């Protein structure tokens, strides 16, 4: 069975811009903002990913990891809250 998933973005460019924006905000929240050169690298405006240093790759990996972890915690919290509200309604009658 083939699944078709519609992207919430109008174009690949829009998706890339959003990704760079989110990673930039995460870096700022950690007190280590991305430079304009870093944002250019992330946007793929450099011809080869071979130009990415291992330190840069590791930094971006950690930013993505922290975003995923936070989203997982938030999703778990939302599910628990929803279940709690459902049980409260059931208990009330």
* Residue-wise pLDDT tens digits, 32-55: 999 998 998 888 876 665 677 889
DSSP letter, residue 33: P
Measured between alpha carbons, how far apart are the two ends of the chain, in Å? 42
The whole domain housing 83 covers 13-92
For the chain, what is the domain count? 1
3-26: string of b/e by CB count within 10 Å (b at 16+)?
A: eeeeeeeeeeeeeeeeebeebbeb
Residue 7 falls inside a structural domain: no
The residues of the chain scoring below 70 in pLDDT are 1-3, 46-50, 83-93
Residue 38 has which token pair?
């870093």
Residue 6 falls inside a structural domain: no
N residues, the chain? 93
């Amino acid at each position: 069975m083939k699944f078709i998933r519609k992207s919430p973005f109008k174009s690949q460019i829009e998706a890339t811009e959003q990704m760079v924006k989110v990673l930039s905000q995460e870096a700022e929240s950690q007190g280590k903002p991305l430079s304009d050169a870093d944002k250019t690298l992330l946007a793929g405006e450099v011809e080869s990913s071979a130009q990415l240093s291992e330190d840069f790759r590791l930094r971006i990996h950690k930013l993505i990891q922290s975003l995923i972890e936070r989203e997982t915690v938030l999703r778990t919290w939302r599910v628990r809250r929803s279940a709690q509200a459902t049980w409260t309604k059931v208990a009330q009658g």
